Amino acid sequence: MNPVYVPNIAVDDICALDVHTHVEADGCGHFALDDELLDASAKYFGSDDNRTPTVDDLANYYRERSMAAVVFTVDASTGLGHPALSSEDIANKAAQHSDVLIPFGSVDAHADDAVERASTLATQYGVRGMKFHPSLQGFEPNDRAFYPLFEVLEAHGVIALFHTGQTGIGGGLPGGRGIKMRYSNPILLDDVAADFPHLQIIMAHPSVPWVDTAISTATHKANVYIDLSGWSPKYFPPQLVRQANTLLKHKVLFGSDYPVINPDRWMKAFAQLDIKDEVRPMIMKDNAARLLGLA
């Protein structure tokens, strides 16, 4: 019998909750990306951290910092032609670190068993969300062929976290390795949010070059949030900072995108950002704790 993940995070004892971190290795020699994409990503982000952390690595990393983290992989088996890490294994290992980790699953949207796997991950493994990267996975989220997948997530109260905007995966390679950014335009998620009003959606990253679209979607749809991962705060578009301080102060979430950006670097830059004192704890922990049902 698989251990069903149950969170055991003492919210008052952590200083931050990172909603966007990647498991890049399973510890048995399998990696989330092939060598070419791993090397291109490291060059794009200028990351000098461990680029292929396991679940145990992430648990130790965040525990040392008195933080908690959402962990996941991306199943883009069809889009990238590379076998994915097991979301089931990630959830099982996260259950061993339930004081600091929260597992999200990921399924290949093109797979025949995507709906069944999503349901199993929610009910038998206890994942709290599902990660999608439309550009890597090669699908338009508002294509109704994929709506049965979102129906399952909505029915089980599972959060849908979507990559939005530009991606560093494939960055600088000829043709970006065939990865198409248009699939990650947040306007496609406006349709999903409208058609699934009880599905909680997180739009990952500042959504450049569509930041205004993301802001409008999150402002208009009560079930849509924005995480701030993948960019150093010193490069955030000014309109995003302005809305995070005002209209979206309850809907913006801290995310680093570790290991491509480490939280120490992110938080150092965030400390210099013009964010109101009363808003900072909302972004760093409170909004995510509420959304994830921890508070």
Binning pLDDT at 50, 70 and 90, where does residue 47 land? low
Q: What is the mean pLDDT of residues 31-50?
A: 76
Residue 131, phi then psi, degrees to nearest 5:
-95, 130
Q: Which pLDDT value is given to residue 39?
A: 78
Q: What is the mean pLDDT of residues 105-127?
A: 98
CA neighbor of 201 nearest in space, from 229, 221, 215: 221
Q: What is the mean pLDDT of residues 238-242?
A: 98
Own/partner pairs, 5-8, CB within 8 angstroms, 24+ separation: 5/91, 5/94, 5/95, 5/98, 5/102, 5/103, 5/125, 5/126, 5/127, 5/128, 6/95, 6/98, 6/126, 7/98, 7/102, 7/128, 7/292, 7/293, 7/294, 8/98, 8/99
Q: Looking at the predicted structure, is the pLDDT value of residue 107 above 90?
A: yes
pLDDT in tens, 156-205: 999 999 999 999 888 889 999 999 999 999 999 999 999 999 999 999 99
pTM for the complete prediction? 0.96
**What are the structural domains of the chain?**
11-291 (3.20.20.140)
Q: Which pLDDT value is given to residue 44?
A: 72
Q: What is the mean pLDDT of residues 12-18?
A: 97
Percent with pLDDT over 90 in the chain: 86
Q: What is the mean pLDDT of residues 227-252?
A: 97
